Amino acid sequence: MITLKFYGHACFTVTHKNTTLLFDPFFTGNPANPASPDEINCNYILVSHGHGDHLGDTVAIAKRTGATVIGTAELAALAEQQNCANISMHLGGKRSFEFGYVRITPAFHGAGIPGGHAAGFIVNFFGKTLYFAGDTALFGDMALLGRLEKIDYALLPIGDNYTMGPDDAVEAVKLLQPQAVIPMHYNTWPVIAQSPEAFKEKITVLNIPVHIMNPGESMEL
């Protein structure tokens, strides 16, 4: 059994037995996240970029749990400076783990770290393939990602303003051809207010299911 849990904004955990990956742990100061970072136990923390709403509580959680931070070289260097266990990768790189593999994908967005680059992740987790897009604009090479990987779940930002909005995310889905879509990075603040139901209607026409997750909600993959 693989469980995906949403903590609001772009923060998720995915768990199978004793292995948990945590994505973009924005707890402290996140109006959409009712959970405390102290309740999280995880083995790895995947951080897409250095903006505060993604790096979030990474250092505190990594220190408390001993979890290994996975990210681009610049992000891993930041974790290293904070004495956190880390694995340094970069765009286009793929690496095997005991749970499967991680591929770091480009994201068109600011890095939030000098010299860095925003990223996303394609994670194969005990046989299920998730694409966590991070913060990104729509880009045509998503078609390549869809060709390279059979994506089971695409976690896509729909908030607009800082990232893709709903209409661009519909185009992203057409390029990625995932088995299912989970919207993220919306309704945290008024500036990224969106209707996930309206987005869902646009995707359902493509015959691809959309799972709208409320903060605190879990689903089995």
User: What residues does 70 pair with on adjacent strands?
Assistant: 46, 87
Beta-carbon neighbour count of residue 147 at 10 Å?
A: 12
Q: Tell the smallest beta-carbon distance from residue 177 to Mn ion (Å).
A: 25
Q: Tell the smallest beta-carbon distance from residue 221 to Ni ion (Å).
A: 25
Interface with Ni ion includes 117 (CB under 5 A)? no
Q: What phi, psi does 52 have (nearest 5°)?
A: -60, -30
User: Residue numbers of the site for Mn ion (CB under 5 A)?
Assistant: 53, 135
Q: How far apart are the first and last CA of the chain?
A: 7
Of residues 42 through 61, those in contact with Ni ion by CB under 5 A are: 51
For Mn ion, the closer of residues 135 and 149 by Cβ is 135
For Ni ion, the closer of residues 51 and 103 by Cβ is 51
Interface with Ni ion includes 168 (CB under 5 A)? no
Q: Tell the smallest beta-carbon distance from residue 198 to Mn ion (Å).
A: 21
Interface with Ni ion includes 135 (CB under 5 A)? yes
Residue 175 CB contacts under 8 Å (≥ 6 apart), including other chains? 140, 142, 143, 145, 146
Rounded to the nearest 10 degrees, the angle between the axes of helix 196-204 and helix 166-176 is: 40
Residue 117 touches which of Ni ion, Mn ion, none (Cβ within 5-8 Å per kind): none
